[in-house]
Amino acid sequence: MSTPSPPPLLLDLDVVIITLDRANVKRAQRCFRNAIERLGFGADRIHFLDATRGSALSDQDIANLVTPRARHELRHGRFDTAALSGVNSVGCFLSHRDAWQRCVESKRDLVVMEDDYVTRNQNVQDFAETYAREMPRGGGGGGGGVLRCGYTFDFQGAMFYIVSPEAAAALLRQSDNAAIDCHVDHYLNFMHDAGEIRQHFSTQKYYSFLDLITTGSTISHNQVRWNVAWWKLAALCALVSAATTIIVVVVMRRRHRSRKN
């Protein structure tokens, strides 16, 4: 039986794959094939976007791009999960800004993927209906919409989302006027909370936890450095746990001995 053709709605969507290595078989090329075979995007509409390499940014570049707090955390470790985890997370943010700029210039909805994105979903028609039904549009206080599709459980990353030109313009405007102080996925959340964009998390989770932990992005920002306070807290919790275990064991033994006597 022949495979049904992807809906025209998907074939006409522009797609960018953010990557540092277009030829990487396990990441960029796998993401490219996945976008065609499992999501129904047109091959001629998919383009690679060369990512900004965070490690290539100079100290002065970083100083000009991020807030004083973010600069401190990049040096000494971050205080919370939204904060920048390393210089590659700055490069990642800049790469997504390049994608938003493309969206604004084209005046069309844009699918943004990071090169570690893959999905096990094979129902192309289902995805087309999800996009048509759930993509946020104008009104309601937000100038445009973002449909977040690539997430799993409580992990709300930015590895796969669709952005409208209006939302892309708002994301660019705010990020141009303020220094970077968080990961790009948290920035999307903050912009939604501020009423600058309308964001919706797809009711269908087009991602797999297995793929998340087995596929790494070439624009990886995993060189996490936590602030020393977090390590102290973790060490304290471990000590308290060990002490509690010892106390329980001692009390149980004494009770056991008293029953024998």
| Domain membership flag for residue 2 | no
Q: In what order do the strands lie in the sheet with 145-148?
A: 46-50, 14-19, 110-114, 160-163, 145-148, 198-201
Shared domain for 238 and 204, answered yes or no, is no
Higher-confidence position of 161 and 202? 161
47-61, 147-161, 181-195: segment of lowest average pLDDT: 147-161
| Domain membership flag for residue 21 | yes
Higher-confidence position of 192 and 7? 192
CA–CA dist 153, 113 (Å, integer): 19
Q: pLDDT at position 231, please?
A: 55
Q: Using alpha carbons, select from 170, 114, 104, 149 the residue that is nearest to residue 10.
A: 149
Shared domain for 13 and 108, answered yes or no, is yes
Shared domain for 83 and 110, answered yes or no, is yes
Shared domain for 64 and 178, answered yes or no, is yes
pTM of this structure:
0.77
Q: pLDDT at position 38, please?
A: 82
Higher-confidence position of 2 and 29? 29
Q: Answer yes or no: is pLDDT of 232 > 80.
A: no
Average pLDDT over residues 128-142: 74
